[in-house]
Chain A
Amino acid sequence: MSITRYGFRDVISGFFEFPTDNARRLLPRGIEPFELHHGTSIFAVNIFDFDESEVGEYGEVVYAVVVPPLVREGRLPQSAMFPWQVATTTRAAREHAIERWHLPHWMEDVEVEFLREKGRMTAKVKAEEAPALEMTITDHSWQRVQHLYQSFQKDDSGTYLASILFEGEKSEHEEEKGRVVLHDTPFNRDLVLSEVYETPFREQWMRKGCQLFDPLLKL
């Protein structure tokens, strides 16, 4: 079986509360949001700093809704996401991800600047030369993990499932110290910005690791 590997320096993820009404507008029929509370779903912002891939180094921003995983025989996934917008810093990365993973993309290159400070990391993203978002994630305790996640995709050709093993050092907490600023630009057009809580209820940070993708499965 052929596995695709992406090495990363850092991945920061912020999980934000937003209304289930908003989540449903982003999800295709048949995929439900995972509700944190009744009426409140989870908007995930994941920002990657890849240092090793078939298409070289690049940065990537993934906007996703957390959804229930598909439970099958074998290892239970940690959680699952439905990415509705992926943006990359290079055209090669974008074309590769569309072709191989059927991921919906922002079709222009974006700029991602990573600011590393002790105990925190900030990513500033520009789209069409204008600030689109800034996200700061803080750390807690670090441990080496190997966690399985699922990602669902849907396009005109069908619905797909990617099983992704994350390996690396991971910090995760719910101290509510991070922050996101989402600018009112076309990049964020699918969100009702005033309804996204600006402090992540959960912050994740992975470093010095890799993503291992199983071949895409058509559902």
Chain B
Amino acid sequence: MEVAQKTVAEKPEFSEYDYSNFYYGAGDDPINLLRPYADWYREARANGYYLYQEALGSAPTTHIRVRNGRTGEWLELLNMASYNYLGISYRPEVKKAAAEAIEKYGLGASGSPILSGTFDIHEEFASELARFKDKEACILFPTGYSANVGFISALMRAGDTIFLDQYSHASIVDGAILAKSKTIFFRHNNPLDLERKMAKEKGKKLVVVEGVYSMDGDMCALPEVVEVTKRHGARMLIDEAHSTFLFGNHGRGVVEHFGLDKEVDFHLGTFSKSLGGQGGFVAGSKELIDYVTAFGRSRFFSCNLSPVLTAGLLAALRIAASEPGLRAKMWSNVAYLRRRFAEEGIDIGKSNSQVMPVMVNNDAKVFAVAEKIQDHGLFLNPVTFPAVPKHKSRLRISVSAAHTEEDLERATQAIAAVLREEGICR
């Protein structure tokens, strides 16, 4: 029936929108979405988004200085957010190596690795890393993102098929886009769904998984995924960004943990997580590395890793390789926190790693919870839709070998107190 008019609230609540509403802007002008986004973000930031990109004023150790995104005030907080899983990046040996390198090389590589940007320190680091990973060779990328983008697009082409876990990191998805291959997503960690989807495809196939998934902290169901992949004659890439240097007897990753190192074709990792630096790598046969050197555009056309950073990474790698006690300490911290969280009724979903999502499961409350936890002296990050499914909001915790039991107990008590106050845990 026809009615005279409708009453439309001209300015709906900011919480009715999210990033996904500002991605596509149909129409003829590329800047169509700037103003609506700016209007939304102004309100979103005031209502909790200020908790993103808060500036740090100290090294990312377990205790840090953080500038509050709303007030500008510097706060002293217990750091439960930085990767730095082994607490290596600020070790004196690492800083010394970097300091010596800046004296020797200056600030940057000043060139692409293919032309003038490869230094002796890059070769030394790549060679030691290959030995650590028990592979013939290794190639370095300026970031973890560029490692995935460069490697996947170096190997795969239009007409090929790439199978991705639905929770794949953006760098893996972007690599598949750049490869122009057909991309098929399978349900998270679900080998049966992968099987169903692989059965329909012919031709060159690549399956990409992650050792540990960064939003849920759950390990890849690697034995089952490997079995399906092999049965369909496909190749497999594992991104061990969150698992290299942590899992397995030697710290080689989830592949070593499951004894499947030789079954997985391509091994990728990063230096920003366990080593607390920056960059990425792929390890494998010399033939593979030679090919990726030639066709990995994200590396070929970027400036190489700074030699200063590389010297620090080399020192960090030597620590990670020679001090297994660091891994043991991190896992003991993980066990402690898991036990305490269980005792306090704090839900960490399916995590079985050092990445622990504290499930809030309430999109409307997650920022208020994060604010209160910061008021209790903790630094951690809220994660909400569309980074995770609707109503699956969480606070992401990274456990480090550098945390003391006292730190972890303090974190547990603060989180439990706030979650109880908000009616989220018992």
Contact = CB atoms under 8 A, between A and B. Distances in A.
Contact of A54 (B2, B6, B11, B182): B2
B21 A78 contact: yes
A201 B188 CA distance: 12
Nearest to A7: B1
B390 A71 contact: no
Interface string A54-92: 100000000000011111101110111000000000000
A37 B185 contact: yes
Nearest to A54: B1
B6 A2 contact: no
A4 B6 CA distance: 9
Interface residues of B, number: 36
Interface stretch (A107-115, A140-148, A182-190): A140-148
B27 A72 contact: yes
A68 B5 CA distance: 26
A212 B390 contact: no
User: Which of the listed residues B11, B173, B183 has the most CB atoms from chain A within 10 Å of its own CB?
Assistant: B183
Nearest to A37: B185
A76 B21 contact: yes
B390 A202 contact: yes
Nearest to A202: B390
3 closest residue pairs by CB, A with B: A68-B24, A174-B389, A39-B183
30 contacts: A1-B5, A2-B2, A2-B3, A3-B2, A4-B3, A5-B1, A5-B2, A32-B24, A37-B166, A38-B173, A39-B182, A39-B185, A40-B183, A52-B1, A53-B1, A54-B1, A68-B26, A71-B25, A71-B33, A75-B8, A75-B11, A76-B21, A76-B40, A78-B16, A146-B9, A174-B391, A174-B392, A175-B391, A194-B200, A212-B3
Interface of A: 1-5, 17, 32, 34, 37-40, 52-54, 67-72, 74-76, 78-80, 140-141, 145-148, 165, 172-175, 194, 201-202, 212, 214
Given A37-B183, A67-B26, 16 more contacts: A4-B1, A5-B1, A37-B164, A37-B173, A37-B185, A38-B176, A40-B183, A53-B1, A71-B26, A71-B33, A74-B10, A75-B10, A140-B391, A172-B390, A173-B390, A174-B390
Interface of B: 1-6, 8-12, 16-17, 21, 24-27, 32-33, 36, 40, 164, 166, 173, 176-177, 182-185, 200, 389-392
